Amino acid sequence: MKVLVPVKRVVDYNIKVRAKTDGSDVDIASAKMSINPFDEHAVEEAVRLKEAGIASEVIVVTSGAANSQDVLRHALAMGADRAILVETQTPLQALASAKVLHALVNKEQPQLVLIGKQAIDDDAAETGQMLAALWQVGQATFASSIAIANHQATVTREIDGGQETLVLSLPAVITADLRLNDPRYVKLPNLMQAKKKPIETIALADLNVDANPRLQLLKVAEPPARAAGVMVNSVTELVAKLHAAKVL
**What is the pTM assigned to this prediction?**
0.85
**pLDDT confidence bin for 21, thresholds 50/70/90:** confident
pLDDT at res. 248: 75
Q: pLDDT tens digits for 47-96?
A: 999 999 999 999 999 999 899 999 999 999 999 999 999 999 888 999 99
Query: Taking 90 as the threshold, does the pLDDT of residue 45 lie above it?
Result: yes
pLDDT at res. 183: 95
pLDDT at res. 158: 84
Q: Which of 11-20, 66-75, 105-114, 237-246 has the lowest mean pLDDT?
A: 11-20
Helix, strand, or coil (residue 140)? strand
Element (H, E) at 62: strand 57-64
Q: Cα–Cα distance between 2 and 57 in angstroms, integer?
A: 5
CATH of domain 2-244: 3.40.50.620
Q: Cα–Cα distance between 139 and 200 in angstroms, integer?
A: 27
CB 154 within 8 A of CB 171: no
pLDDT at res. 130: 96
Q: pLDDT tens digits for 146-196?
A: 999 999 999 999 888 889 999 999 999 999 999 999 999 998 999 899 988
